[in-house]
Each structure stands twice: as C-alpha cells, then as structure tokens.
Amino acid sequence: MSAHFASLHIDNHAPEPLWRQLYIQLDDLLTSGTLQAGTSLPPERELAETLGVSRSTVKRSYDQLRHDQRIGGRGRAGSVVRRPERVEPTLGRLKGFTEEMRELGKFASTTLLVCEVVHDRRMASIFQRPSNALFLHIERVREADGVPMTRELAWYDLTLAPIMAEWDGGGSAYERLKQLCGVTLGGAEQTVEAVLSSDAESAAFGFEQPQPCLLFKRMTRDVGGALVEYVEGTFRGDAYVYRMQLNP
C-alpha cells in the first residue's frame, strides 16, 4: 500500500462513525493535494484489513467520495482520484477570473499570498513610470468551487489608480477599478505560453512534480491607452481548455 495512506487510522472509541472517520481523512488527503489526480486508492478489502474494520465500512467511505465526485472508477480498475472538472472559457473578451467563473457556473474564491505596495524597477519600466513610482503587488491563488485553478501575480499602477492601495486582494480587480477607482477599461494585450509549473505553482496546485501549465501575461489599459494592470497568471493544464471562435 502506498505511503500516502500510512497516516490513516480508526479510533473505535470516537463518537464519529467508523466510515466517516475514514471518509474525513481521505477527503483531507484529497483536499491537500497529497493524493493527486490518477492516484489509485487501496482495494476495499486490503484497506479494511489494514485498518481492522469491515469491508462495508471502507466501501461506504469510498461510495461517499464517489458521490462527492472526488474519486471515480470501480471494479477491476479500482477507485482512482478524479481529475478536476475541466472548464472551457472562451478567449476574445476582457474579463477577470471572477466573471469568467460566474459565466461557467462556478464559485470563485481567493487565497491571498501577498498584498503590498512596492517600488519595482521592472514594473516602472513596463508601466513607463519613474523608478520611484508605487505599485500595488498582489499574489493570490484563484479557486473554482474550492479547486485551485491559477496562481496569479499582478501589479497595479497607483499613480493612475491610487485607491487600489486600499484593496485587500479579494474579489474582482476589474470591478474595483471600474466602481471605486473610476477607471474605464479599454482593452488588453495578452500572450499565452506553455510552461511547467514552478515549485510555488506546484505547491499551490498540489502537484508532486512539475506539470504542464499555461502562462498568461496580460497588459490591461484604460480607454486613454494608459497601462493600468500587468498580470502573470499560471493556469493548471489539467483543468483548462480554451476556446476561440475563428472567422473567415
């Protein structure tokens, strides 16, 4: 049995039903990324013997995980960790992650990693500002229905939108720019590259080893052409399929 499952244990004296104790522990392993997509779970009989419980106890735990769509497969192939449900957004219109997930029927959430006002010579050059200009720097992991989808690094020009300095990094940057800063967005330039996840991105996505990802670099401007935002967002390759409409 894989070392991933060595931490599993059952407390016969706990008030929690045995099957639910096992379910909670397996769910934690899935949520933490310890059990990656494609990982096989131990056969019901084998795990039952290891934990000293009945096979029906293990089966009920697996059935609940299957009901929650955390695992799939059965029979000779056994039970395996499911891959994240792929999302299929379309390219061609300027929109943020929050709006994109809303259109796909997903709930967008954020895990904030960094939120600080900085001097940054590289950003000053990109934004064509003096070297002492201030920028809001945000690093965050964006989730869809609780599943980490992208790790985002963003910078905002505080010379153009000083109120952004008060932002805590939650929710939609574009909604804040429009509603609180009075910035009317005019459009964006965006590039897409195929990359392998960095150590930080692998940790955010629960990858044990570097995996294929898509790196989006976007420069967003207001209607006057001034650069408002620069973003580098790494999207996990196992969860994204982008669609584009090509006209003759």
Domain edges within the chain:
3-81, 97-236
The closest alpha carbon to 212, from 193, 195, 233, belongs to 195
Which residues face 235 on adjacent strands?
150, 214
Q: What is the mean pLDDT of the chain?
A: 87
Q: Using alpha carbons only, what angle is made at residue 79 by residues 76 and 85, rounded to the nearest 5 degrees?
A: 125
Position 135 confidence tier, pLDDT thresholds 50, 70, 90: very high
The closest alpha carbon to 157, from 185, 193, 195, belongs to 185
* Segment 203-222 mean pLDDT: 90
Position 115 confidence tier, pLDDT thresholds 50, 70, 90: very high
- In this prediction, residue 170 carries a pLDDT of 86
Lowest mean pLDDT among 85-94, 160-169, 172-181, 213-222: 85-94
Contact 235, 150 (CB under 8 A): yes
The CATH class of the 3-81 domain is: mainly alpha
The closest alpha carbon to 140, from 198, 201, 227, 187, belongs to 201
Task: Please say if the pLDDT value at position 38 is more than 80.
Answer: no
Task: Please say if the pLDDT value at position 75 is more than 60.
Answer: no
Output the CA–CA distances (angstroms, integers) from residue 150 to 35, 39, 52, 203, 214, in the order listed.
19, 22, 40, 12, 9
Can you identify the CATH homologous superfamily of domain 97-236?
Chorismate lyase-like (3.40.1410.10)
- In which element (H, E) is residue 81 found? strand 80-81
- Rg over alpha carbons for the chain, rounded to the nearest Å, is 22
Lowest mean pLDDT among 55-69, 86-100, 192-206, 222-236: 86-100
Output the CA–CA distances (angstroms, integers) from residue 127 to 133, 160, 201, in the order listed.
10, 10, 26
Which residues face 225 on adjacent strands?
none
Q: In what order do the strands lie in the sheet with 134-144?
A: 108-119, 134-144, 147-157, 227-236, 212-222, 185-196
Residues 6 or more apart whose CB falls under 8 angstroms from that of 21 comprise 10, 11, 14
Task: Please say if the pLDDT value at position 89 is more than 70.
Answer: no
* Segment 84-113 mean pLDDT: 78
pTM attached to this predicted model: 0.68
Position 222 confidence tier, pLDDT thresholds 50, 70, 90: very high
CA 64/CA 205 separation, integer angstroms: 24
